[in-house]
Structure 1
Amino acid sequence: MFKLPALLFLLSLTGITVSEPWTSSVHPWGDPDLQGTWTNATVTRLERSDTHSQLILSDSEVIAVELDAVGFQEDNDTLPDGDLEAGVGVGGYNSAWIDPGTRVLRVDGQPRSSIIVEPADGKLPYKFSGRFDFFRELLKTQLRNNPEEQLLGDRCMVGFGSSGGPPMLPVLYNNNYQIVQSPGHVMIMIEMNHAARTIRINGDALPGSITPWLGDSVGHWEGDTLVVKTRGFHPQQSLRAAIKHQLLMSTNSEVTERFTRISETELNYQFTVEDDDIYSQPWSGEIALRPTDGQIYEYACHEGNYALPGILAGERETGVDGLRWLINLLTEPQF
C-alpha cells in the first residue's frame, strides 16, 4: 500500500498537482471560525419559478435569469419624473439604493433555480388552511389604520421579509451579515434594520412565555458545523412579506440552521422549517454566503423616517374615497 508521501512524490513526477484540502481555522477556545462579514445577495428567489422545472439551471437559463435582473435595475433607473398616478406604487427615484445581487445562487458550483431544495418542486408546501391564513394576513396589510398595524419593516422593528430570519433570506437590499464569536455565544448582526441574533452555545431554551424578535436561538457544534435551533417566535413576526419572498410562519414553528465554512470564500447555510400549523411537511433551503469587503454601517431606520405619516394619510384618503363610493351606492339610483 502506498504511503501518502510516496504517493505525492509519484504524482509530482507525472506533473499532476495535488492541492491540500481546506481546513477551517479554530478559535483559541476550540470552536471553528465562522467570523467575518458575509452576503447572501442573489437574484435566485426563495420559490422556484414555474418557468423552471429543475433545481439546477442550464447555462442558457442562467444567462436569461441574470439578464432579467439587469433589466430590473435598468427599469428602476428610467422612472418618469412627475405625473405618477395616485394610489399606485411609485417605488424609488432610481436603483441607487437597491442591491439585490446580480448573479444566480450557486451551491457546490451548481446554479440554482430556487433557494428551496425540499420539496423537490421548490415551492412552499402550504396546507389548504395554511394558504388561507397566509392570504388573510397578506390582506390585512392593505387594511391598516394605525401605526402599530404597519409591517414590521415599515415600523423599523426588524428587517423586511425574513432577512433577519430565521431562516435568513435575501431581500431587495442590505443583504449583509456580520458573524462574531466568543466562548459560549455566536452573534449575527443583520445589516437590514441593524438587528442582531445572539445564539447561546449549549444553552437552555427560554421559557415559552418569552418570544423575542427573531426567536430564541440555541446552538451546538457537530464537528465543523454550527447547528442552531430556534423556537419562540414573536407573534407579530408571523407574516414575512418582502418583494423577493412572502411566507407565513406560526408561533409554533421551529427552524434548524446549519452553518459550515467550506472555504475561505464560502459559508454554506442550510435550514429546515417545521411548522405543522401552516405546512403539510417540513421544507428546506440552502444558500452560499460569500465574504464581502468593508464595514457594515448602522441601518438608522428611524432617523428622518417620514414614511408612516404619509402612509397613514394615504390610507385615510383611501378610506374617505371608499366611504364616498358607499354613500353614492346607497343614495343614487343604480338603474
Structure 2
Amino acid sequence: MKYLFTIILIFSSFIFSESRNPYVTWYGDPDLQGVWTNATLTTLERPRHFKTLEVSVEEADAAAKRAAAESFAYDNEYKQGETPRTGRDVGGYNTAWMDPGGELFQLFGKHRTSIIAFPKNGKLPWDRKKADKFFQKMRKDRSRRKDHPELRGVGERCVVGFGSSGGPPMMNVLYNNHYQIVQSPGYVMIMAEMVHDARIIRLGGTHPPEDVTPWLGDSIGHWEGTTLVVETKNFNYQHTFRGGLRHFFAISPKATITERFTRISRDQILYRFYVDDPDI
C-alpha cells in the first residue's frame, strides 16, 4: 500500500530558537523547534458528502458547524446523574474533554476535505487480498482471551498514543494534539502530548537490524535544503493497528514511512508523509 498525505502542523505556543534568524538554529540547521498542533476537523479519508479535495469557505464553515453539532449531541447524550438505557455503553468523555479542532485545515489558503492527497479520491488504497489476510490475523489475535495486561492493546494500556498520535505518521485525534520539537546537533526530538511519546530522530546513519523494533519504529533523517526528511522502519508488531474514532488504518512491521517537514511560515510547518507497506 502506497499513499501520500498532506497536513499542516499549526504553531500553537512559542519558539525555543534564540538565533537572529528564527528559521535557523545556532549551529546552522533549519529551525523547526516549538510547540505545534495538528488539531483539525479534516479526517484521514474524505467523507462521502465531499466530492473534491478542496472546498469553498462556505462549505468549510458548514462542515465545521455540522461536526460541532454532531459531536455535542453524541458526547452529551446523558445528563449528569442520568442512568443509561439498559444494554447501552455508559460512554466515556463528554465534550469538555475533547479538543479535535474547530475547522477543516487549510493548505495555502484552501480548505481540505481529507488528509490523504493521493490517491485523488482521498481513500486508503488497500490491496484487498493482503489487507483481508492481515486483518483476519489481527482480529484473531484481538479476540483471544486476555489473561494478563500485557496481552491488551498498547494504545489501550497507554504504552503509546492511540490513533497513531505519536507517529509515524503523526495523526490528529480527539484531544492532546500538540507536539514539541527540540533540535540539537545530529538529532531532532519530537514529543507528542498524547502519552508523551518521544521520538528521537538521528540525522545520518543507518537503521539497526530488523529485530530491533522500538514502539515508534526506528527513525533516521537528513536535510534536503530546508526540508527535514525522515525515514522510519522496524515497526513493532504490537503497534500495527492505528485506528481511532475518526480514522482506521494499520502499519505492518515491514512498512517504510517517509516524512517531510518544511517550515513555510513563522507559525506553520508543512507535514507530508508517504507510506510504503508491502503487506497491506
Same fold judged by TM-score > 0.5? yes
Q: Distance in 2 between matches of 1:211 and 1:87?
A: 41
TM-score by length of 2: 0.86
Matches within 5 A, 1:1-335: 25-75=23-73, 76-80=75-79, 81-85=81-85, 87-92=87-92, 94-133=94-133, 135-136=135-136, 137-138=138-139, 141=142, 144-146=145-147, 147-278=149-280
State the secondary structure of the residue aligned to 2:69.
helix
SS of equivalent to 1:230: strand
- Residue 60 to residue 200, structure 1, CA distance change in 2 (3 Å): same
Identical amino acids, percent of aligned pairs: 48
Following superposition, which runs of at least 4 residues in structure 1 exceed 6 angstroms of deviation?
none
Q: Report the CA distance shift for 1:135/1:77 in structure 2 as closer, same or farther (over 3 A).
A: same
TM-score, normalisation: structure 1: 0.72
Q: Against the structure 1 CA distance between its residues 68 and 117, is the aligned structure 2 distance closer, same or farther, given a 3 Å change threshold? A: same
CA deviations on 1:67-126 (whole Å, 9 max, x unpaired) are 122113422234244321455433235211111111101111110010000111111111
Could you tell me which amino acid in structure 2 is paired with residue 77 of structure 1?
N
The Cα shift of 1:24 comes to 5.9
CA contact (8 A) 1:171 1:242 kept: yes
Change (3 A) 1:61 1:168: same
SS at match of 2:129: helix
Query: How far does residue 150 in structure 1 lie from its aligned partner after superposition?
Result: 2.1
Cα displacement (A) at 1:179: 0.1
CA shift, 1:236, in A, is: 0.6
User: How far off is 1:140 after superposition?
Assistant: 5.0
Supply the distance in 2 between the matched residues of 1:191 and 1:86 (Cα, whole angstroms).
36
Note if contact 2:262-2:269 (Cα within 8 Å) is conserved in structure 1.
yes
Kindly tell me the number of residue pairs found equivalent between the two proteins.
256
Shift of 1:143: 5.1
CA contact (8 A) 2:134 2:279 kept: no
Contact conserved, 2:78 with 2:84, CA < 8 A, in 1? no
SS at match of 1:246: coil
Give the drift of 1:54. 0.9
The structure with the largest helix share of the pair is 1
> What secondary structure sits across from 2:262 in the alignment?
strand
Cα RMSD after superposing both structures: 1.8
Counterpart CA distance in 2 for 1:97 and 1:138 is: 30
